Amino acid sequence: MLGKELAVLLPSANEVLPLGHSECDITVESQVERMFREWRPDLVVNCAACADVDGCELDSERAFAVNATGAGHVARAAERLASRLFHISTDYVFDGQKRTPYTETDPPHPINAYGQSKWEGEKQVLERNGRSTAHLVIRTSWLFGIHRPSFVEKVMAEAQSQTELQAVTDQIASPTWTFHLAQKIAELAGKPATGILHVVNGGECSRYEMAQAIVEILGRPVTIKPIAWPQLNRPAKRPAYSVLDCRRLVQLGLSPLPHWKQALEEHLRFRHRVTMMAQKI
């Protein structure tokens, strides 16, 4: 979802090689090494991940193979060739016990296999033989975009056939549009940023509030009914509050991302235009 966005944005000023799983499986170190030797990249953005939270809980071995071990393969290869690495991570490295936005210096404490595997991946990217690397970990949250189904598409699909939907009230984070995130990653390519950086759209909301905003923008007569997360009986726990503080982004001289509601409105307008164009072809 994010990788395809970057593949569209970055080529204006760079030669870009977008690699999918079939071209390079990051869990296989020899494949990663071969790609680095052949292409000798200046910058690598690692968007590869097992991001199905419940799926990670049911198959933690696969989650750790991709999110932790695979991330380490990419980081070591990048370090050997002095390539910059941007590694995409998640708000789910936190346990959700805070009620104020998490900063980059807050200690992670994941509560599910997905978050744990991503935190292990962060450590493999940022630490090598007891010293810090020059790589950058970019944490983000609740991504939505046109290249892959997300919560937005789920609500839209259900709103077409139902007059009443359920959405969770006890999970709060910052929905983030992949287009805005990709734009900021492109800007970061020109900044000497290392360590950890939080990048999300502004504001915060629950899934319930986000669903309400979606049907309101679409103008659909759908009622959103509140539900608590435990009632869904899903395999993996979620942090109740995982809003990320993005002040370090401003300290680097970059503007913060727009509010999530503005991002959602822009995304839905853009999605509508793409759908209309596809129907005319």
Vertex 221, ends 219 and 226: CA angle to 5°? Answer: 110
Each residue of 160-205: pLDDT tens digit?
A: 989 999 999 999 999 999 999 999 999 999 999 999 999 999 999 9
Q: Quick one: average pLDDT of 260-266?
A: 97
What CATH number does residue 18 fall under? 3.40.50.720
Tokens of 277: 């164009």
Amino acid 12 reads S
Each residue of 15-66: pLDDT tens digit?
A: 999 999 999 999 999 999 999 999 999 999 999 999 999 999 999 999 999 9
Number of domain units in the chain: 1
Q: Is the pLDDT of residue 277 over 80?
A: no
- Distance (Å, rounded) from C-alpha 5 to C-alpha 250? 23
State the pLDDT at residue 257: 98
State the pLDDT at residue 281: 62
- Nearest 5°: phi and psi at 137? -100, 125
- Say which of 102, 114, 208, 241 is annotated catalytic: 114
Q: Is the pLDDT of residue 13 over 90?
A: no
Annotated active-site residue 114? The verdict is yes
State the pLDDT at residue 12: 74
- Distance (Å, rounded) from C-alpha 257 to C-alpha 268? 17
**The residue count for the chain:** 281
